[in-house]
Homo-oligomer: A and B are copies of this chain.
Amino acid sequence: MYAITTNSKAEPILPSFSNSVLLELFQAKPVENFSTGRAVFWEGDPAKDVFEVTRGILRLYRILPDGRRAIVGFVFAGEMMGLSFQDRYLFTAEAVGEVSVHRISRRMFHAAVDSSPHLRPELLSHLRDEMCAAQDQMLLVLRNSADERLASFLLLIARKTSGEPERGTEIQLAMARADIADYLGMSIETVSRSISRLKWQGIIALDGPSRLTIQRVRALRELAGEVERFGDEDIPHLAATMGRQPVQLAR
């Protein structure tokens, strides 16, 4: 998921989720639509089905014993979900906007996979990718600076939607600040402050709360720990104003 750590090469591993032949299993199934905030399934429900998301984004979360919500991942269009369950869903899946999915029963899914020597290694491969992503997410949260986590998150979203980001790449944040906060393990206010800091440093620009533009890719990737901090090829002359609080707020 975060190319930095898990994959030897710095290529996004997500496409492997999407190009899967496994996805073909879903195509015969009818489309189901979920409107904003609706749950596809709940944590603890019997894990009867597996899904493919064809439109929109799903947020996966669990409620901790103390009542807080922890988002364990997002599922984007073109990705499958539910392959890694035993007999019960481990988390709730909720639509972050309008979402469409194909649904297939776990029994049928596994029957199909079992009977096909082609599909079997693919399922394994998929599970391993998921494993890999979960581990990366863990390491991301461990790396403690809020700004670093946010940088990684922005790169993640950018890659999911528009491939490898360059200067000028626009990012559409479909989820609210609260979602980002619960995903990155920090408070809403800290997410907001981190975004503001990136803005003051000229790394990103905002066109409204949920729409932003990457301006200094290299700096963003350095923050995310993807590259060594050395050359600063983009907009080095802004450095003078970077270190401290803004003299004046944009927008």
Contact = CB atoms under 8 A, between A and B. Distances in A.
Interface of A: 4-6, 8, 44, 62, 64-66, 68, 70, 72, 84-86, 88, 90, 114, 120, 123-125, 127-132, 134-135, 137-139, 141-144, 185, 225-226
A86 B135 CA distance: 14
B85 A139 contact: no
A91 B90 CA distance: 26
Contact of A65 (B4, B130, B137): B4
Task: Pick the 3 closest A-B CB pairs, nearest first.
Answer: A65-B225, A138-B138, A142-B185
A148 to B, nearest CB: 9
Number of copies: 2
Residue of A8, A85, A88, A90 with most chain B CB atoms under a 10 A cut-off? A90
Contact of A130 (B125, B131, B142, B225): B131
Contacts of A123: 124
A68 B142 CA distance: 11
Nearest to A183: B142
A84 B137 contact: no
Nearest to A85: B128
Given A114-B120, A127-B124, A135 B134 contact: yes
